[in-house]
A and B are shown apart, each in its own frame.
Chain A
Amino acid sequence: MVMKSADELKTATSLTSAKDITRVQELVYEMKVEQVMAHDVITVDPSLPMSELRALLRDKRISGVPVVKEDILEGVVSIEDFIRYLAEGQPNCSVSERMQRKVNTLFDNDSLVRAVEEFDRLGYGRFPVISRNSGKLVGIITKGDIIRGLLKKMEIDYHAEEIHRYRASHIFEDIIADKTTLIFQYKVFSRDFNRAGETSSGLKKTLRRMGISPQIIRRVAIATYEAEMNIVVFTEGGEITARVTPEEIRVEAVDDGPGIADIQKAMQPGYSTAQDWVRALGFGAGMGLTNIQKCSDEMHLVSRLGEGTKLEFIIHLNNVFINAAAHHN
């Protein structure tokens, strides 16, 4: 059985529940060597004199090193080879004369389960990893790399699952009312480019945690970002409010001026009144309102010069919460 084959894997699994062990087993089959291996490999050229090997092994704190010519692995030279060379009292020579030419390797797209088997079968501490495509040395892998890779993957999956579990559909199911609306409010500051984007990314994260479908979130986030940037670039500041119901997401961006002189012109793609320094930052492409319109199902823009602008856009949720509604009934 796979789990018995590496001591460290046993340790890792003994800490977790039966359900997680199944998950580890799944992962060792799913994950590839290249996902966990170290990419930066210390190597030496075949022409390196043996006399210089000791310093390298000592400085890098390694017990052996792959010998590589033009990215192709020619062998491995270890501290054992060095000791043997010293004991024999031979004159100085290149590592290529003393290295082991027969080297056990793994391929980058080998599964971790194969790696674990090889560690168990041969008892080595590490394997050079070769690209199956190019035949070149692309990494090196230890048992520690496998453990770290598995733990990291499990942690990521765990977080994803946690977020997944907490769905907005449940919120709407749990609330007893004839009509339910969740309201999220964000302040947007004028000309604060460091904080610009915080509203849209905050709203995006909130919607994601609610379990709303990624396509919907993408549309809401893009439209909100453009509305937010309009407030940052052109106005004295304002507020963005998102209202979420089982049927739709309605976002309102309101500012205190100066207002849009010509809405029709402002709606034309490429038209912008942005100042040069704003354009130099990559804003003011004249695509903001067009982007909002493209992303939303409905858009309303009202503006009075000297007073301010109110932009509202709506994205229908249609089927997103249908299951929840069905449960509820």
Chain B
Amino acid sequence: MRLHTIIEKTGLDNLTTDVDLDCDVKGVYVSDLLSDVIANVEAGALWVTLQVHPNIIAVAALKDLAGVILVNDRQPETETLKKAEQEGIPILTTRLSTYQIAGRLFNLVGEC
């Protein structure tokens, strides 16, 4: 499923310009431990986390992720946003909790 479709259907806010919202999302991974994400996430997946520091972009770029979703209306640090646009990684925010957004994504994207 394309990222923009997911953004529309789950009501995410996109904070980044000049990023590819048209890419095909290959799955979803939920974790706040960076090493765990690095070890287990598949390339092209969306990553749901509450971490907001710039290193999430390093992880996302490293694993060629489709984007990062920040939960509980948490806002990225300025540096995070800057890096995200440099690396072309979409940062999306939601008011929903990790559980709620994960549930919606599961219904939308399914098991993967």
Report if A and B associate in a common complex.
Answer: yes
Compute how far the CA of A282 lies from the CA of B55 in the bound complex, rounded to whole angstroms: 10
Asked if A122 CB lies within 8 Å of chain B CBs, one says: no
CB <8 Å contact, B8 and A39? yes
Asked if A85 CB lies within 8 Å of chain B CBs, one says: no
Residues of A within 8 A of B87 (CB): 201
Compute how far the CA of A201 lies from the CA of B64 in the bound complex, rounded to whole angstroms: 11
Known: A225-B38, A226-B38, A291-B38. A285 touches B33 (CB 8 A): yes
Identify which of residues 41-100 in chain B touch chain A, using a CB-to-CB cut-off of 8 Å. 43, 49, 51, 53-59, 61-63, 79, 87
Asked if A175 CB lies within 8 Å of chain B CBs, one says: no
Compute how far the CA of A291 lies from the CA of B35 in the bound complex, rounded to whole angstroms: 8
Compute how far the CA of A194 lies from the CA of B53 in the bound complex, rounded to whole angstroms: 8
Contact with A200, one of B4, B39, B57, B62 (Cβ below 8 angstroms): B62
B107 → chain A, closest Cβ, in Å? Answer: 15
Compute how far the CA of A289 lies from the CA of B36 in the bound complex, rounded to whole angstroms: 12
| Interface range for B | 20 to 34
| Interface range for A | 20 to 34
Residue-by-residue, is A205-232 near B (CB-CB < 8 Å gives 1, otherwise 0)? 0000000000000100110011001000
Contact with A282, one of B2, B33, B63 (Cβ below 8 angstroms): B33
Known: A226-B38, A283-B35. A197 touches B79 (CB 8 A): no
A252 → chain B, closest Cβ, in Å? Answer: 19
Residues of B within 8 A of A201 (CB): 58, 61-62, 87
Identify which of residues 29-66 in chain A touch chain B, using a CB-to-CB cut-off of 8 Å. 34-35, 39
Compute how far the CA of A225 lies from the CA of B33 in the bound complex, rounded to whole angstroms: 14
B101 → chain A, closest Cβ, in Å? Answer: 18
Residues of A within 8 A of B38 (CB): 222, 225-226, 291
Compute how far the CA of A290 lies from the CA of B39 in the bound complex, rounded to whole angstroms: 9
Asked if B105 CB lies within 8 Å of chain A CBs, one says: no
CB <8 Å contact, A281 and B79? no
Q: A197-B55, A222-B63, A294-B39 are in contact. List 17 more A-B contacts (CB 8 A).
A: A35-B22, A39-B4, A197-B54, A197-B61, A200-B58, A200-B62, A201-B62, A204-B62, A218-B43, A218-B63, A222-B62, A225-B38, A282-B51, A282-B55, A282-B56, A283-B55, A287-B35
* A interface residue numbers (CB < 8 A to B): 34-35, 39, 193-194, 196-198, 200-201, 204, 218, 221-222, 225-226, 229, 281-283, 285-288, 290-291, 294
Q: Top 4 closest A-B pairs, CB basis?
A: A197-B58, A287-B35, A285-B33, A285-B35
